[in-house]
Every structure is written in C-alpha cells, then in structure tokens.
C-alpha cells in the first residue's frame, strides 16, 4: 500500500472563480412552457450544499492529507445565509424545481439547519404543490436531530454508510467513528418518520467489497433501500483510479448468487438508481423484503435525463457534478438583483447547459500529468 503521508494530490482551488453572470438570454421554453437546457432536459432537482465542513474524512471524498488543520475552509461571511438560499430556491422552484436535497460537507453541522428547512418547506411550485425536501447525511448527528428535522418539515433522509464492520468503516471515515452510532441515527430517522429511508454505500474494490452481502442482509426487510454507488472520479484529491471501481453489474451478480432479485421500473425521469427488488419464490417482487439500488455513475452514465442543478455553499451554481466552474449567483444576489433578474439569470444558465461529463468520460484519453480542474464533492455537495 502506498504510504499515505507521501501521496501527492494535484489540487487547484476552483472555488470562488465562477463565471460572472451576463445579462441572460430569454429562457428556452418548450411548448408546455417548461424550461429546458440545450439538450432538452428540464430543471427538476436542486442540490444545495450548506457547508464545506465535515466531521468525517472519508478517503474518497475529503482525504485527511488534504483536508487537514491547514485547509482553508470558507469563511462564514462567504456562505449564503438561509435567507439568501431561500430567495434563490424560490426562483429555482418557479422554473420547475420540485425537489431540494440539502447536502455538504456534512449538512447537520450547519447551525440551525432546521430554520432553513422550515423556510424551504413553505415554498410552493407554480401549481401549488409542496416541495419534496430531503437531506444526505453521514448520520453521525442524526440520532440527536431526527425529530427536530422532521418537525421543521424535512420529509426524508439518505444516510451514507459504507460498512457494518467497525474496522472497515473506521478505516473509510478515517476519524474512528463507530458503525453503531450511524445505525442509531437510521433508527431514530425511521422512528421520526423520515422515510422511506435510503442508505448509500460507496463501494471501493479491495476496501469494502466484503461488506456488500452483510449490508444487503442487514437492511433486507427493514424498510431501508440500500443503494450501491460506484466510486467516482469526482474532485481532484481522492487519487481515483479505475481499478478501484467495482462496477455495479459485478455487485448485482454477487447479490443474485445469494438471493433472487427482480428488476423494478424507475419511478420518475432522472432517477439516478437502477432498482432491483427482492423476489418471492414465484419470481414476483416481495415488497416486504424491499429493494436495492445501483448508482452506476462510472459504468452507465445517466446524463441523458439529468435534471439536477447544484448550488455551492457560497452561491456558485454548478451545472454538473464534474464541472470545473460555477456561475456566481451570490454576487448577483448581493448586488441587489430583483427576483425577476435572478430568475432570468438562472433560466439563461440552464438554457445554455450542455454538460454530460459521465457520458463523455472515457471517450477522450486523459492526460494523467495534467492537474484536474474540478471542484470537490464536499464543496459542491453529492
């Protein structure tokens, strides 16, 4: 194994160097007045990063060697306030967003996050519907916060958990955090009614692949949908190599050797996971046993119907998880832009969007010596 103290990460700080926002062209509207990007994709899902800080140091996301005591996190004044986030979210909703996911960093570290959830829960879509509001968390603070999150208006949570074995999990979170505390958080979220719950497991070949079957057995029949995420080449600090990716089809085969699964239809356009249900003896889906999901960002790109925009902690709007630059909404907002101006700016940016990184990945040979110009997952949110 490489000595972790000697690993060198080509890191360019891509924060706060977003595109300035120019006067917007008229938004591209379909005959049904739906905003679409340059590839015909609607805007439906907004992911908002509320902090760039985290209490874990997952090696695939915030490796300790980079995110150490000298790392420069964003200053508090750089962060969007809850009022600023809500002001922007209102315009996104007017343009078609129906679902908001709070993320980070670790979103439960943001002080009074319940206040923001309460503000977002009051927004309504143009046809008067409440939003689907959810949050992705590492679960460390969930046992303490589940009830207050639910009271504030949060509907669901997704919890990240990469192993059931403490040694494996601690090696991955790199802060010695025990599995049992995350399981307590999952239980508290279920009790509070923050379901149906999803658990995300990032699979790294040779690191936690032995945990796949124990995780499946543990969550089968529990009401939790376990989802396997292919380890992604996001950011520029995790030393990603294709050899470390365990493709979803291999995970699926591994599970199917032990228990029968049946494919389930996707529930909505833009769904990131391919769903498989546990099967009864007659081959039909056993709904009580539940399902597993596969998010195959590396081996099976789902850019074709990607309807997600991402707002960074400091108000940079990213059109793709792998984008090198965002669009500087904070400057526009703090310069006093009116709601109409904000809406036009967002519509213009979405109308120009043609990102499809995963679909293009692998088509062009990568230059391994070139520094990677991509923002970190902990900054932009997952």
Beta strands in the chain (DSSP E): 45-49, 99-103, 132-137, 156-160, 198-203, 225-230, 261-263, 274-278, 291-295, 308-311, 316-318, 327-328
Provide the minimum distance between the beta carbon of 234 and ligand SAM in the complex, in angstroms, as a whole number.
5
Binds 200: which of ligand SAM, ligand SF4, none (CB < 5-8 Å by kind): ligand SAM
Q: Is 377 one of the binding residues for ligand SAM (CB under 6 A)?
A: yes
Pattern 48-87, ligand SAM, x by CB under 6 A: ------x-----xx--------------------------
Q: Could you say which residues in the range 158-177 bind ligand SF4, by CB under 6 A?
A: 160
Phi first, then psi, for residue 173 (nearest 5°) are: -80, -15
Q: Which has the closest alpha carbon to 359: 322, 317, 326?
A: 322
Provide the minimum distance between the beta carbon of 61 and ligand SAM in the complex, in angstroms, as a whole number.
4
Provide the minimum distance between the beta carbon of 137 and ligand SF4 in the complex, in angstroms, as a whole number.
8
Binds 92: which of ligand SAM, ligand SF4, none (CB < 5-8 Å by kind): none
For CA atoms 323, 326, 127, 28, the dihedral sign is negative
Spatial distance between the Cα atoms of 176 and 281, rounded to a whole number of angstroms: 41
Pattern 120-139, ligand SAM, x by CB under 6 A: ----------------xxx-
Q: Is 48 one of the binding residues for ligand SF4 (CB under 6 A)?
A: no
Binds 229: which of ligand SF4, ligand SAM, none (CB < 5-8 Å by kind): ligand SAM
Phi first, then psi, for residue 263 (nearest 5°) are: -65, 140
Q: Is 314 one of the binding residues for ligand SAM (CB under 6 A)?
A: no
**Burial of residue 173, with CB atoms counted within 10 A of its CB: 0-12 exposed, 13-18 middle, 19 or more buried:** buried
CB 57 within 8 A of CB 69: no
CB atoms within 10 A of CB 189: 28
Measured from the CB atom, is 91 or 376 closer to ligand SF4?
A: 376
Q: Which has the closest alpha carbon to 352: 84, 39, 5, 14?
A: 39
Q: Could you say which residues in the range 203-232 bind ligand SF4, by CB under 6 A?
A: none
Residue where the block lists tokens 């990007």? 37
Q: Which two tokens stand for residue 50?
A: 């509320």
Binds 234: which of ligand SF4, ligand SAM, none (CB < 5-8 Å by kind): ligand SAM
**Which positions lie near ligand SAM, rule CB under 6 A?**
54, 60-61, 103-104, 106, 136-138, 160, 200, 202, 229, 231-232, 234, 238, 377-378, 382
**Which positions lie near ligand SF4, rule CB under 6 A?**
54, 56-58, 61-62, 104-106, 138, 160, 302-303, 306, 308, 320-322, 355-358, 378
């Amino acid at each position: 194994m490489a000595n972790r103290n000697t690993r060198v990460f080509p890191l360019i700080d891509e924060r706060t160097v977003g595109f300035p926002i120019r006067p917007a062209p008229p938004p591209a509207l379909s005959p049904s007045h739906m905003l679409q990007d340059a590839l015909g994709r609607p805007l439906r899902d907004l992911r908002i990063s509320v902090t760039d800080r985290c209490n874990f140091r997952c090696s695939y996301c915030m490796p300790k060697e980079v995110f150490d005591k000298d790392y420069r996190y964003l200053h508090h004044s750089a962060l969007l306030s809850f009022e600023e986030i809500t002001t922007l979210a209102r315009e996104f909703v007017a343009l078609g967003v129906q679902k908001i996911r709070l993320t980070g960093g670790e979103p439960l570290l943001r002080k009074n996050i319940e206040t923001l959830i309460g503000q977002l829960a009051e927004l309504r879509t143009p046809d008067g519907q409440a939003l689907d509001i959810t949050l992705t968390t590492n679960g460390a603070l969930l046992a303490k916060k589940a009830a207050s999150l639910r009271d504030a208006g949060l509907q669901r949570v997704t919890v990240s958990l990469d192993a059931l074995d403490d040694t494996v999990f601690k090696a991955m979170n790199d802060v010695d955090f025990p599995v049992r505390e995350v399981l307590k958080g999952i239980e508290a979220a279920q009790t509070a009614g923050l379901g149906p719950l999803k658990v995300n497991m990032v699979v790294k070949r040779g690191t936690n692949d032995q945990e796949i079957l124990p995780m499946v057995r543990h969550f089968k029949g529990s009401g939790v949908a376990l989802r396997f995420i292919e380890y992604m080449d996001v950011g520029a600090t995790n030393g990603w190599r294709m050899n470390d990716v365990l493709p979803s089809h291999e995970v699926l085969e591994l599970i199917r050797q032990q228990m029968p699964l049946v494919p389930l239809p996707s529930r909505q356009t833009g769904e990131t996971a391919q769903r498989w249900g546990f099967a009864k003896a007659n081959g039909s889906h056993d709904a009580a046993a539940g399902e597993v999901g596969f998010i195959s960002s590396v081996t099976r790109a789902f850019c074709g119907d990607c309807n997600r925009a991402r707002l960074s902690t400091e108000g940079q709007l990213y059109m793709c998880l792998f984008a090198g630059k965002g669009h500087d909404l904070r400057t526009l907002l703090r310069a006093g832009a009116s709601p109409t101006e904000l809406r036009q700016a967002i519509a213009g940016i979405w109308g120009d969007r043609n990102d499809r990184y995963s679909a293009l990945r692998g088509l062009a040979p990568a230059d391994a010596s070139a520094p990677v110009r991509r923002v970190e997952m902990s900054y932009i949110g997952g």
